[in-house]
Amino acid sequence: MSTTDAIGYAPPLYEPPHKPGVLKINPDWAYVPPVRPQFTLNLDREETTCLPAVSLEEADRRRQADFPIQRSNRYPSKLIERALVAELAADLGLSDAHVLVGNGIMNILTYIYDIYSRPGDHVTVPTPGFWPAYTYAFQRARGIFMPLYLHDQSDRLHPQFLFPADRTSECLAKGTAICYLCNPNNPTGTLIPFDAIESLVSDFPDCLFIVDEAYGPFAANRLDADRFELDAIVDMIRRGCRNLVVTRTFSKVYALANFRVGYIISHPANIATVKAHMGPYDMSEISLAMAHYNYLDSNYMKNVVRTVIENMAVYEHFLEEHDIPSYGGYRNSLLVEGLHFAEAYERSGIAVRAMVYQREIPNPIASTFRVTIPADVASFRFLMNVSQQIVADLPVVGGGPRRQHLD
């Protein structure tokens, strides 16, 4: 990898053609999610800590009553998928042809990689960003431009990472098949200004822009208590924009990460193209039923969003009071300074996420960790009690010594 201060670069890691029986990739690049069962409370993966509104048993009972051919021995009927797409499209004010449901955002993104870029092409990922997206690029032999977020530390307790619009534009000008814009950004919590996205999308019509709104509901509601989705980018699709895909998921605000349902919103030509590349029976009908019935129960989702935002405010206030810097707050997790603080959480039974990346990725946040804000009373109480205990035991949490790697 070569880097300037402003832009990281990882070249494509191998050349096609790919021959059977030849290992072309380094398996270490693959994203292997951490599974850490030894903790009392896992706040390391941005999973919603409560269960969904509609249980598996209830969704199963209702799908059998509402839709024909739902028995386990039959292939998926696609009827629930169609119903879910119709509901999403109606709420978005778009046609069904603008929406595609798949096995979570991450799976849909793998299709998009294969359709819209070729080995040897480049992708652009403002960094730090949602790093499994890099791993897809490494695994798929795409080179990566990494325009670095601007680190603004003028407010010591509330440092920020600002979207690097000019640096991103510079990378796109070098030739980029796909540009990933995570909004609000994981892990920095940055909300990318709409104007910046709009300019990039219109200046580079040959680049496909993925605007990942996995955490959009938290940002939307923090900005306006009556809103539960960001709307400005989807509005560009309403106006006919062709080089834009918005991704959303049932994993976060609907507490359905285990069921793997996400969706994309885009111009019908892109939706039809991605759909043509998917297998005929990619989606499990029981997962679709969970998404469908939980989507209909939107009050529960709203309550999850509001509760996380309220709890976030309490936690942010606690950090401020104890002189501990943190970033962002537009998502369901917070990036907090101080790995010894993270270690203390883990010793107390709470798993948090150290921001350790592959060597190839520039990492300006190696001294921080990410903590997911709980959505249920008991987990949030536990987090706050443990936090109080840690600061009582470690009076200089915000300014103490740091370790480079947690795990």
Ligand X SMILES: Cc1ncc(COP(=O)(O)O)c(C=O)c1O
Residues forming contacts to ligand X in the complex (CB under 6 A) are 46, 104-106, 130, 182, 186, 212, 214, 249, 251, 257, 262
Question: Residue 232's CB: how many other CB atoms inside 10 A?
Answer: 13
- Closer residue to ligand X (CB): 291 or 339: 291
User: Could you tell me which residues are beta bridge partners of residue 7?
Assistant: 147
Please tell me the chain's helix, strand, coil percentages from 3-state DSSP, rounded to the nearest 5.
Answer: 40, 15, 45
Helix 165-173 to helix 194-203 angle (10° resolution) is 10
3-state secondary structure 287-351: HHHHHHHHHHCHHHHHHHHHHHHHHHHHHHHHHHHCCCCEECCCCCEEEEECHHHHHHHHHCCEE
Q: Which amino acid, 75?
A: Y
Residue of 185, 290, 291, 165 whose CA lies nearest to 230: 185
Min dist CB 103 to ligand X, Å, is 8
In angstroms, give the least distance from the CB of 154 to ligand X. Answer: 27
Q: What letter represents residue 46's amino acid?
A: E
Q: How far is CA 212 from the centre of its chain?
A: 7
Residue 70 or 186: the one with the smaller Cβ distance to ligand X is 186
Nearer to ligand X, 283 or 397 (CB): 283
Tell the smallest beta-carbon distance from residue 108 to ligand X (Å): 8
User: In 3-state terms, what secondary structure has residue 277?
Assistant: helix
Strand partners, 208: 178
Comparing CB distances to ligand X, the nearer of 99 and 324 is 99
**Closest CB to ligand X: residue number:** 104
Say if CB 265 and CB 249 are below 8 A apart.
no
State the minimum distance, in angstroms, from the CB of residue 101 to ligand X: 11
Q: Which is nearer to ligand X, 204 or 330 (CB)?
A: 330
Q: Interior CA angle at 354 toward 356 and 381, to 5°?
A: 165
Q: How far is the CB of 177 from ligand X (least distance, A)?
A: 19
Q: Which of 377, 393, 315, 383 is nearest to 349 (CA)?
A: 383
Report residue 177: phi and psi, to 5°: -75, -40
Cβ at position 310, least distance to ligand X in Å: 21
Which CB sits closer to ligand X, 139 or 348? Answer: 139
3-state secondary structure of 271: helix
Report, in Å, the least distance between residue 391 CB and ligand X. Answer: 28
Q: Which is nearer to ligand X, 212 or 316 (CB)?
A: 212
Nearer to ligand X, 190 or 348 (CB): 190
Residues 34, 45 contacting (CB under 8 angstroms): yes
217 or 398, CB closer to ligand X? 217
Task: Give min distance, CB of 406 to ligand X, in A.
Answer: 18
Minimal distance, residue 25 CB to ligand X, in Å: 21
Q: Pick the closer one to ligand X by CB: 63 or 248.
A: 248
In one-letter notation, the amino acid at residue 256 is: L
Using CA atoms, how far residue 290 sits from 45, 155, 328, 365, 403, in Å, is 21, 43, 31, 36, 42
Phi, psi for 211 (deg, rounded to 5) = -105, 105
- The identity of residue 350, as a single letter, is I
Supply the minimum distance, in Å, between the C-beta of residue 169 and ligand X: 22
